[in-house]
Amino acid sequence: MTGAQMVVKTLEENGVTTIFGYPGAANCPIIDRLPGSAIKHILVRNEQGAAHMASGYARVTNKPGVCTATSGPGATNLITGIATAYMDSVPMIAITGQVVSNLLGRDAFQEVDITGATHPFTKHNYLIRNGLDLPKVIDEAFYIASTGRPGPVLIDIPMDILKKEYDYPERKKEPIVIRGYKPIGMGKAHEMQIKKVAEAVKASQKPVILAGGGVVLSNATKEFRHFVQMTGIPTVTTMTGVGVIEGKSDLNYGMIGSHGIKSANMTLNHSDLVIILGSRLGDRSVANAAGLEKRTKLIHIDIDPAEIGKNIFPDIPVVGDVKDVLSQLEPLLRDYKVSPEWKEYVDRIRSDWKVEEETQDNGFVNPRYFVKKLSEKAGSDAYVSTEVGQNQIWVANNYNFSDPRHFITSAGFGTMGYGLPSAIGASVASGSTVISVMGDGSFQMDLPEMGTMRQWDIPVKMVVLENHRLGMVHEHQFINYKSNYYAVSLEGSPDFCKLADAYGIPSMRISENSEIDKGIDALLDGKKSFLLVVEVDPFEPTGGALNSHYLPKEDK
Amino acid sequence: MESKYILSVLVEDNSGVLAKVVGLFSRRGFNIHSLAVGVTNIEGVSRITIEVIGDELTVEQISKQLNKLIDVIKIKVSRSDELVKRGLLLVKVKISSKNRTEVIQIANIFRANIVDVSQSTITAELTGGDTKLNAFLDMLAPYGIEETAMTGMIALERGTNVLKA
């Protein structure tokens, strides 16, 4: 059996049915063994798309997504996708071909040290030196990628090893043991700490739960919602936590952070106890961690011990899997209920800062109103991916997610070009409706992947919020650079509807709020791709009507 | 409060492990004071000894991050004075026929070995903690130090405690 055959066989044994990839000389031996296997290879248009698709696939299935590329530029094109997955703890296996072993380190054609390059943003990586290691390494890679705090693992395989014949090593069915990696047993938290948490909650007057992506990663959404309902503690989320509590829940006070909503940040800041569940508290969520430490008591629950004390110093640290911790806490807090005064207080903040959306016709579509409408019409089965920029914030703050795995976005790394390919991956994984909400800047990083959609009949619904600018940078230049608008105009962009037409994808353009219903109905009609271009005011603020009076009337 | 710490790190003896460990330090802008790597009595396990100067919280964070590396099997963080630690120094000193004996005497006081001698130089080797090595270098400085080579510190805990893989 050749090395390449071993790769395919072991991937099959690990339940892989789809690989997103791009062939080249170095990974061709693997591609060559795929026909007739249980694995479908989806040819993308740029390797970066392959990594993002694997990422979208993984977010939906909760299993590692697999992508492959050739050596050198193929491998480096994967890098942005791998780093994106790393920052949001997405399980992924990236398999790269490498130049033949005896040319390693000699600057051979299409050679790059991809294990060296990706080390800072992979959970682990391997450069294969002996083909007989392949089955063991691939098993380990799946185990590492999907257990503990998930993340991407890269396997770099020299071409000669892929081609060489080996006797397939005898496979033991024993559980994988890696002496430097013990994710099992990290689950249950220390009972003493759990007791302290329960006591702190009971002693507090104004508790708040801050939920992050760790709740999603530990598959604890059900337990989490039960815990929130049981205790009645007001809940705010980070971006990766959007959806862990239902958008319309009475105890959902919204997303915090620099692009969160005002009332969510106020709720957090007025508390006397914050229970941080599965969040690393990145700077975009809590810009001033030291301030929060001073103001309020902090409980930090995370599966990764290295997160405790990294960005914030908690009063009570708890290392454990969110799901286990919640089940440990449940019996201790069964009789606890948050005080009605505190609930009334935060309810008042929420209603004080509630904004009525502009819905009159004025030549532009209100993007927040559009997203709210989209949320109503698409239903709870739909998945929504975003790009990065204003579109991401509008969706995060206005779409009513009933399941956090249905919101697919690059939160930690903030990768433009993530939205469409991740939606493609999500569509392949789920077979459900997947909507990709983009800006006209980010969409132009994705354009070629429309070919992938067509080739493999992947019916992603595309929305482009078009303002002919890089909207968020434009806003940034307005606020922080004295309106020195530079390098943000997207003049020269094509007519996206014509472009879609060239790919055989139907489309529509809307520019009034009264056209929203018509547009969304066309978008969601049938199991086929569609492009809806939505004309948005270039001066539409990310934060909504709250600060719109600061804005000039015209684009200068 | 900054002080000197020693991280004793047991790692899988794979290619690239040292780069992964060292990379973590540089990425966080954390300076390595000294570094020593070698095989151990356990097959397939190498020991990396890293001397760092920093505050307790930063050192703890570094150690947690190192622990996340799959190839890292075990880490022990110790205050520098809790360990027996040794480094090896080779030093080449300029001499003349007049002061050769003086230099040899100094070497004898430090229990250094003279490992090479020429008309104009003496090369000595000395093992010890960094205070001793530095004191030796201070004593030799007036004669003119031509070249030095020093290993990173290696260290074992005092008493019965053992770092097991």
**B15 CB within 8 Å of a chain A CB:** yes
Region A316-337: mean pLDDT is 96
Residue A370, SS3 per DSSP: helix
pLDDT digits (tens, 9 = 90+) for A206-239: 999 999 999 999 999 999 999 999 999 999 999 9
Q: Are A349 and A267 in contact (CB under 8 A)?
A: yes
For B10, the closest chain A residue by CA position comes to: A180
What pLDDT shows up at residue A173? 74
Tally of CB atoms within 10 A around A49: 31
Residues of chain A above pLDDT 90, percent:
89
Tell me whether A300 touches chain B (CB under 8 Å): no
Which residue in A124, A179, A310 is closest to B61 by CB distance?
Answer: A310
Inter-chain touch A179–B73, beta carbons under 8 Å: yes
The residue assigned the tokens 């022990």 is B76
Interface check for B67 against chain A (CB to CB < 8 A): the answer is yes
Cα separation, B153 vs B125, in Å, equals 15
A124 touches chain B (CB under 8 A): yes
H, E, C per residue of A155-194: EEEEHHHHHCECCCCCCCCCCCCECCECCCCCCCCCHHHH
Q: Give the mean pLDDT of A261-277.
A: 94
B70 contact A CB<8A: yes
Which residues of chain B neighbour A180 with C-beta distances below 8 Å?
A: 11-12, 69-74
Weakly modelled stretches of chain B, pLDDT under 70? none
Among the partner-chain residues A129, A179, A305, the one whose CB lies closest to the CB of B64 is A305
Domains and CATH numbers, chain A: 3-163 (3.40.50.970), 191-352 (3.40.50.1220), 367-555 (3.40.50.970)
- What is the model's pLDDT at position A186? 60
Mind telling me how many Å the CA of A290 is from chain B's nearest CA?
15
Distance CA A420, CA A52 (A): 9
Nearest CA in chain A to B20: A119
Report the residue of B21, B26, B63, B64 to disrupt the A interface, i.e. the one with the largest count of A CBs within 10 Å: B64
φ/ψ bin of A105: left (φ > 0), alpha (ψ from -120 to 50), beta (otherwise): left
Q: Is A311 on the interface with B (CB under 8 A)?
A: no
- A534 pLDDT exceeds 80? yes
pLDDT number for residue A47: 98
Q: Is the pLDDT of residue A535 over 60?
A: yes
pLDDT at A549 over 60: no
Identify how many contiguous H helices and E strands chain A contains and give both numbers: 22, 18
Contact present, A303 and A320 (Cβ < 8 Å): yes
Query: Would you give the DSSP letter of residue B143?
Result: G
- Cα-to-chain-centroid distance, residue B55: 20
pLDDT at A548 over 80: no
User: How many Å apart are CA A501 and CA A541, to the nearest integer?
Assistant: 31
State how far the Cα of A256 lies from the Cα of A276, in Å rounded to an integer.
12
Set of chain B residues whose Cβ sits within 8 Å of the Cβ of A129: 15
Asked if pLDDT for residue A136 goes beyond 80, the answer is: yes
> Tens of pLDDT along A22-74?
999 999 999 999 999 999 999 999 999 999 999 999 999 999 999 999 999 99
* B164 in contact with A, Cβ within 8 Å: no
From A112-116, A349-353, A456-460, A532-536, the region with the lowest mean pLDDT: A349-353
- The answer on pLDDT for A553 being more than 50 is no
Label residue A550 by pLDDT band (50, 70, 90): very low
For the whole model, what pTM was predicted?
0.94
Angle at which helices A471-480 and A390-398 cross, to 10°: 100
Which of A104, A113, A118, A119 should be substituted to probe chain B, the one whose Cβ sees the most B Cβ atoms within 10 Å?
A119
